[in-house]
Amino acid sequence: MKNTDYTDKRFMQLAIELAKKGIGKVSPNPMVGCVVVKNGKILSTGYHRYFGGHHAEVEALKKCKNPKGTTMYVNLEPCCHYNKKTPPCVPQIIKAGIKKVVIATKDPNPAVSGKGIKQLQKNSINCKVGILENKAKKLNETYIKYMKTKIPFVILKMAYSLDGKTKTKDGDSKWISSEKSREMVHQLRSRTDAILVGINTVLKDNPKLTSHGQGRNPKRIVLDDGLKISLNSNVLKGGAKTIIATSKNSDKTKKEKLKKMGIDIIELPSKKLVPISSRDNFLDIKKLLVELGKIGTSSLLVEGGEIIAQSFLREKLVDKIMFFVCPIIIDGYSKIKKAIKLKNVSLTKVDGDFLFESLITNH
Amino acid sequence: MKNTDYTDKRFMQLAIELAKKGIGKVSPNPMVGCVVVKNGKILSTGYHRYFGGHHAEVEALKKCKNPKGTTMYVNLEPCCHYNKKTPPCVPQIIKAGIKKVVIATKDPNPAVSGKGIKQLQKNSINCKVGILENKAKKLNETYIKYMKTKIPFVILKMAYSLDGKTKTKDGDSKWISSEKSREMVHQLRSRTDAILVGINTVLKDNPKLTSHGQGRNPKRIVLDDGLKISLNSNVLKGGAKTIIATSKNSDKTKKEKLKKMGIDIIELPSKKLVPISSRDNFLDIKKLLVELGKIGTSSLLVEGGEIIAQSFLREKLVDKIMFFVCPIIIDGYSKIKKAIKLKNVSLTKVDGDFLFESLITNH
Dump the DSSP string for A235-262.
GGSTTS-EEEEEETTS-HHHHHHHHHTT
Closest residue to A164, CB basis, from B160, B275, B327:
B160
B279 pLDDT exceeds 70? no
Mean pLDDT of chain B: 90
Best of B353, B356, B358, B359 to substitute, by most chain A Cβ atoms within 10 angstroms, is: B353
H helices of chain A, in order, are 2-20, 56-63, 90-96, 115-122, 133-139, 141-149, 179-190, 199-205, 252-260, 285-294, 306-314
Q: Calculate what percentage of chain A has a pLDDT beyond 70.
A: 96
Contact A342 B324 (CB under 8 A): no
Distances (CA, A) of B336 to B170, B332, B339: 10, 10, 5
Nearest of B51, B79, B46 to residue B63 by alpha carbon: B46
Closest residue to A181, CB basis, from B314, B325, B351:
B351
Q: B83 or A342, which is more confident? A: A342
- The count of other CB atoms within 10 Å of the CB of residue B94 is 16
Active site residue A303: no
Least confident of A42-46, A293-297, B203-207: B203-207
Nearest of A348, A352, A355 to residue B179 by alpha carbon: A352
Chain B nearest C-alpha distance from A110 (Å): 22
Chain A nearest C-alpha distance from B343 (Å): 9
Nearest of B253, B225, B241 to residue B193 by alpha carbon: B241
pLDDT of residue A277: 45
Q: How far apart are CA A238 and CA A101, in angstroms?
A: 45
Q: Calculate what percentage of chain B has a pLDDT beyond 90.
A: 64
Q: How far apart are CA A213 and CA A220, in angstroms?
A: 15
pLDDT of residue A92: 96
Contact A353 B179 (CB under 8 A): no
When computed from its CA atoms, the radius of gyration of chain B, rounded to whole angstroms, is 24
Contact A358 B321 (CB under 8 A): yes
- Mean pLDDT, residues B74-89 taken together: 90
A171 touches chain B (CB under 8 A): no
For chain B, helix (H) and strand (E) counts, in that order, are 11, 18
H helices of A261-305, in order, are 285-294
Residues 6+ apart with CB under 8 A from B226: B199, B246, B247, B250
Chain B (340-359) residues lying within 8 Å, Cβ to Cβ, of chain A? 340, 342, 345, 347, 350-359
A242 pLDDT exceeds 70? yes
Distances (CA, A) of B24 to A51, A100, A126, B50, B356: 64, 69, 70, 9, 34
Is the torsion defined by CA of B23, B25, B30, B32 positive or negative? Answer: negative
Q: Residues B135-176: pLDDT tens digits?
A: 999 999 999 999 999 999 999 999 999 988 888 877 787 888
Per-position b or e across A279-311, b if 16+ CB within 10 A of its CB: eeebbbbebbbebbbeeebbbbbbbbbbbbbbb
pLDDT of residue B70: 97
**Position B280 confidence tier, pLDDT thresholds 50, 70, 90:** low
Q: How far apart are CA B317 and CA B312, in angstroms?
A: 5
Chain A nearest C-alpha distance from B180 (Å): 6
Catalytically annotated residue among B17, B57, B77, B183: B57
Q: How far apart are CA B137 and CA A211, in angstroms?
A: 47
Contact B322 A355 (CB under 8 A): yes
- Mean pLDDT, residues A25-39 taken together: 94
Q: How far apart are CA B291 and CA B264, in angstroms?
A: 12
pLDDT of residue A280: 55
Contact A353 B323 (CB under 8 A): no
Helix (H, G, I), strand (E, B) or coil at B316: coil
How large is the ipTM?
Answer: 0.83
The answer to whether B27 and B194 have CB atoms below 8 angstroms apart is no
Instruction: Provide the strand spans (E) within chain B.
Output: 33-38, 41-47, 71-74, 100-103, 126-129, 153-161, 194-198, 219-223, 242-247, 264-268, 270-276, 279-283, 299-302, 320-326, 328-329, 340-341, 346-350, 353-359
Residue of A nearest to B343 (CA): A352
Contact B353 A158 (CB under 8 A): no
What chain B holds in terms of domains, given with CATH numbers, is: 1-145 (3.40.140.10), 151-325 (3.40.430.10)
The answer to whether A26 and A54 have CB atoms below 8 angstroms apart is no
Helix (H, G, I), strand (E, B) or coil at B109: coil
B274 touches chain A (CB under 8 A): yes
Q: How far apart are CA A313 and CA B332, in angstroms?
A: 7
Residues 6+ apart with CB under 8 A from B277: none
Q: Which amino acid is residue B261, in one-letter code?
A: M
A165 touches chain B (CB under 8 A): yes
Q: Please state at what angle helix B56-63 crosses helix B2-20, rounded to 10 degrees.
A: 110
- Mean pLDDT, residues B178-207 taken together: 90
pLDDT of residue B49: 95
Q: How far apart are CA A42 and CA A363, in angstroms?
A: 64
Q: What is the dihedral of CA A289, A290, A292, A295, to 10 degrees?
A: 160
pLDDT of residue B171: 79
Least confident of A84-88, A118-122, B137-141, B255-259: A84-88
Best of A183, A313, A317, A326 to substitute, by most chain B Cβ atoms within 10 angstroms, is: A313
Q: A214 or B11, which is more confident? A: B11
pLDDT of residue B272: 67
A274 pLDDT exceeds 60? no
**Position A41 confidence tier, pLDDT thresholds 50, 70, 90:** very high
Q: Residues B337-346: pLDDT tens digits?
A: 888 888 889 9
Q: How far apart are CA A69 and CA A61, in angstroms?
A: 13
Distances (CA, A) of B330 to A76, A198, B67, B79, B129: 36, 22, 63, 53, 53
Please state the pTM of the whole predicted model: 0.82
**Position B84 confidence tier, pLDDT thresholds 50, 70, 90:** confident
pLDDT of residue A36: 97
The answer to whether A225 and A270 have CB atoms below 8 angstroms apart is yes
**Position B45 confidence tier, pLDDT thresholds 50, 70, 90:** very high
B274 pLDDT exceeds 60? no
In sequence order, the β-bridge partners of residue B74 are: B34, B103
- Burial of residue A214 (CB within 10 Å: 0-12, 13-18, 19+) is middle
CA atoms within 13 Å, Cβ hemisphere of B66? 3
Mean pLDDT of chain A: 90
B226 pLDDT exceeds 70? yes
Q: How many CB pairs under 8 A join A and B?
A: 156
A297 pLDDT exceeds 70? yes
Per-position b or e across B262-299, b if 16+ CB within 10 A of its CB: ebebbebeeeebbebeeeeebbbbebbbebbbeeebbb
Which residues of A fall within a CB distance of 8 Å from B350? 177-178, 180-181, 184, 324
The answer to whether B298 and B191 have CB atoms below 8 angstroms apart is no
Least confident of A214-223, A235-244, B43-52, B354-363: B354-363
Q: B278 or B230, which is more confident? A: B230
pLDDT of residue A172: 80
The DSSP-derived string for B238-301 is TTS-EEEEEETTS-HHHHHHHHHTT-EEEEE-EEEEEEETTEEEEE-HHHHHHHHHHTT--EEE
- Top mean pLDDT of A179-193, B36-50, B269-283 is at B36-50
Residues 6+ apart with CB under 8 A from A363: A340, B316
The answer to whether A56 and A62 have CB atoms below 8 angstroms apart is no
Least confident of B118-127, B209-218, B314-323: B209-218
Q: B316 or A59, which is more confident? A: A59
Residue of B nearest to A138 (CA): B359
Helix (H, G, I), strand (E, B) or coil at B312: helix
Q: How far apart are CA B200 and CA B194, in angstroms?
A: 18
A362 pLDDT exceeds 60? no
Q: How far apart are CA B333 and CA B53, in angstroms?
A: 52
pLDDT of residue A275: 47
Cis peptide before B175 (omega within 30 of 0): yes
Q: Report the alpha-carbon angle A192-B339-B187, nearest 5.
A: 110
Strand order from edge to edge, sheet including A41-47: A41-47, A33-38, A71-76, A100-105, A126-129
